C-alpha cells in the first residue's frame, strides 16, 4: 500500500471528488470492464494549466467521472451538468427533444467505445 496513494484516497474518505460515490482503494488505476468503485488520481489543477505533480494537487476521482472530465475546467463541468439535468428531464418526459437526445446518447456511447478500443 502506497502512503502517497492512501493520503490522496483519505482526503475524501474514499469518495470521488466529482460525484461523491465511494471508490475502492484496491481498484486504483486504469481499468477495463466493470468500473464500479474504480478510481484514478485527478489533478485538481491540470498539468497544462500549471498544476503541480504533488499530492497537494491530487484528489481521488472515480474512473468514469475522470474520463468524462478529460481536460475540462470546473465551470465547464458544471455547465455540462446543468445541461445534463435539463436533458434528462426531457428524456424522462419523452418529449420530441428527449427522444432525440436519447438516440444521440447511445450513438455517442458507441463512438466512445470505438475510440477507446482504437478501431
Kindly list the residues in this chain that would bind Zn ion in the complex (CB under 5 A).
16, 18-19, 62, 65
- What is the rounded distance in angstroms from the CA atom of residue 92 to the CA atom of residue 72? 27
Is the Cβ of residue 38 or residue 65 nearer to Zn ion in the bound state?
A: 65
Shortest Å, Cβ 64 to Zn ion? 6
- What is the rounded distance in angstroms from the CA atom of residue 68 to the CA atom of residue 81? 11
- What is the rounded distance in angstroms from the CA atom of residue 107 to the CA atom of residue 109? 5
Shortest Å, Cβ 118 to Zn ion? 25
- 31 by Cβ neighbours in 10 Å (0-12 / 13-18 / 19+) ranks as middle
Strand-pairing partners, residue 7, are none
Is the Cβ of residue 64 or residue 101 nearer to Zn ion in the bound state?
A: 64
Is the Cβ of residue 59 or residue 65 nearer to Zn ion in the bound state?
A: 65
Is the Cβ of residue 12 or residue 57 nearer to Zn ion in the bound state?
A: 12
Shortest Å, Cβ 76 to Zn ion? 16
CA angle 76, 45, 3 (to 5 degrees): 130
Shortest Å, Cβ 11 to Zn ion? 14
Amino acid at each position: 500500500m502506497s502512503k502517497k496513494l492512501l493520503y490522496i484516497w483519505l482526503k475524501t474518505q474514499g469518495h470521488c471528488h466529482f460525484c461523491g460515490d465511494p471508490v475502492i482503494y484496491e481498484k486504483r488505476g486504469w481499468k477495463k470492464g466493470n468500473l464500479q468503485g474504480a478510481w484514478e488520481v485527478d489533478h485538481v489543477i491540470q498539468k497544462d494549466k500549471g498544476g503541480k505533480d504533488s499530492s497537494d494537487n491530487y484528489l481521488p476521482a472515480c474512473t468514469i467521472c475522470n474520463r468524462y472530465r478529460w481536460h475540462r475546467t470546473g465551470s465547464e463541468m458544471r455547465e455540462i451538468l446543468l445541461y445534463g439535468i435539463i436533458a434528462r428531464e426531457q428524456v424522462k418526459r419523452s418529449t420530441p427533444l428527449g427522444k432525440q437526445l436519447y438516440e444521440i446518447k447511445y450513438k455517442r456511447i458507441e463512438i466512445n467505445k470505438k475510440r477507446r478500443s482504437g478501431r
